[in-house]
Amino acid sequence: MDTIVAIATPIGRSGIGVIRLSGPDSLGVARVLTSDSAFAPEPRTAYLRQIYDRRASDAIDQTLITYFQGPHSFTGEDVIEISCHGSPILLRVVIDECLRIGARMADAGEFTLRSLANGRMDLTEAEAIRDLIDAQTTAAVRQAARQMRGEFSHQLQPIKGDLLDVIVVLESALEFVEDDLPEIQLANTKLRLETIKDTVAKIAATFRAGNLIREGIRVAIVGRPNVGKSSLFNALLGSERAIVTDIAGTTRDQIHEKFTIRNIPISLIDTAGLRETTDTVEMIGVERSRRTMVDADLVIAMVDVSEERSEEDLEILNHLEAAQQIVVLNKIDKLSPESVRGFREELKSMVSSGTHAFVELSAKTGAGLDALRDSIVEPFSPTEVNSDGFLVSDARHYDLLVRSRDEIDSSISLLEARASEEIVLVGLHNALRFLGEITGETTTEDMLTRIFSTFCIGK
Ligand code: GDP
């Protein structure tokens, strides 16, 4: 097994920067770095040590070194953590030195993968570490922390146990009973399967809420130039702390601005386009709005109540393409409430679809902003909020739960149709396998590679 190394803290100037090594030669690398071949640290004790760049034979930093002896470490292997001063250049020099000594650069998620391989955690717990690091809101942090503690796996364990019990009953019927299952046993088996199916379905149903906390809502704002889109954008961003995150792979013209409403992450999409319109006179026609709307869960279409309604407004309103849409009547501060009402009623009668929500707003004074916030999150809020229940937030988990439920369901139908135990068992084995894939008991190498490629380096 190679010894791997990576910087575990973000790249940038900071008080400290941590370098982590894992593998059989971790301590050996530390001995060379410290120029002390007799360095034999007590596990889990921090040592203040100089480290050296051999080529310059100079001390390059004073560091704190901690040794975690396998298997009592994050990865289950020998781990060395070196807390250096947080200079990106220094950290690079130390990494280069580790590579020269014989360590290799860790792949994305490789520390966690090793932890999984060594049985230190299961797959849901490993994924929770990634989710915790990626969390955008305090709700998402709490959710990931629960999963990291093994809560999801604990929930699945008894379900898998129950399913296995049923499988055993059917398998032994297959082996020992000459005739079909007696009526009473058949009814009992069916009942047990129904209960298991309901439990799986209940857990799967939490995905709507869980996914909302994790992924949030993608919102697009469309409308003619000068209706007040940028003003609304700034009002929304300014009110709650904007969370600046580096999203790998996003280009300049696809910037997603992030903020939260009621602890739900909101991404405003195509915001570069929005800013552009503040200083260039650009026609935001139907075509452009369409492009903006492609990725959105919700579209906010904005109309200026102080202007004559234009054909272009109507065309945009009649071509909204999103599951959810809100029409914002902006600049109400410029008109009397009666005129605004008149404008709204007239517009309503001219818009073809009746599914639009109408919100009156002044992006300038902030009037109506709270109502707008409510309208943004309201259609996405789960109907049954179980505040202390665990929420499934990963699409992979959700998919496997649904597939497992469907397999159990079809086995129940087969059982009712008096199909042979053999046939009923196929679906139940599949269901059990799907549940096992969630925690990684029955996960293929391919899948692990795919999952861990979403981790950051050094984790
Ligand atoms: P965009 O082109 O749609 O992004 O529109 P802007 O946000 O740049 O706004 C165009 C103009 O309308 C600016 O001068 C804003 O100050 C003004 N404006 C925006 N919202 C309001 C509002 O609610 N009331 C008033 N009176 N003016 C507004």
- pLDDT score of 92: 94
- pLDDT score of 7: 96
Using CB distances shorter than 6 Å, the residues near ligand 1 are 223, 225-231, 277-278, 330-331, 333-334, 362-364
pLDDT band at 286 (very low <50, low <70, confident <90, very high): low
- pLDDT score of 442: 74
Per-residue pLDDT tens for 90-142?
A: 999 999 999 999 999 999 999 999 999 999 999 999 999 999 988 888 888 98
424, 415 contact by CB (below 8 A):
yes
C-alpha angle 60-62-66 in degrees, rounded to nearest 5:
120
CB burial of residue 405 (10 Å; 0-12, 13-18, 19+): buried
Atom of ligand 1 nearest to the CA of 365: 23
Per-residue pLDDT tens for 213-244?
A: 888 898 988 888 888 888 888 888 874 433 43
Q: How far is the CA of 72 from the centre of ligand 1 (A)?
A: 60
Amino acid at 9: T
For residue 434, count other CB atoms closer than 10 A to its CB. 21
pLDDT band at 245 (very low <50, low <70, confident <90, very high): very low
Per-residue pLDDT tens for 307-338?
A: 887 787 888 787 776 668 899 999 999 999 99
Protein residue whose Cα sits closest to atom 14 of ligand 1:
226
Q: How far is the CA of 398 from the centre of ligand 1 (A)?
A: 43
**Three-state secondary-structure class, residue 317:** helix
Per-residue pLDDT tens for 16-45?
A: 999 999 999 999 999 999 999 999 999 999
* 269 secondary structure, DSSP code: -
Q: How far is the CA of 222 from the centre of ligand 1 (A)?
A: 14
Taking residues 154-182, what's their average pLDDT? Answer: 84
Q: How far is the CA of 229 from the centre of ligand 1 (A)?
A: 7
Q: How far apart are CA 88 and CA 17, in angstroms?
A: 8
Amino acid at 192: R
Per-residue pLDDT tens for 424-452?
A: 999 999 999 999 999 888 767 777 777 77
For 215, the token pair is 């992924």
Mean pLDDT for the chain overall: 85
Atom of ligand 1 nearest to the CA of 277: 2
pLDDT band at 276 (very low <50, low <70, confident <90, very high): very low
Per-residue pLDDT tens for 51-62?
A: 998 777 789 999
Q: How far is the CA of 202 from the centre of ligand 1 (A)?
A: 46
Residue 65 neighbours by CB under 8 Å, 6+ apart: 30, 34, 41, 46, 47, 49, 80, 81, 82, 83
Atom of ligand 1 nearest to the CA of 334: 26
**Three-state secondary-structure class, residue 95:** helix
- pLDDT score of 132: 92
Atom of ligand 1 nearest to the CA of 223: 3
- pLDDT score of 322: 66
Does 22 or 296 have the greater pLDDT score? 22
Q: How far is the CA of 231 from the centre of ligand 1 (A)?
A: 6
Taking residues 178-185, what's their average pLDDT? Answer: 74
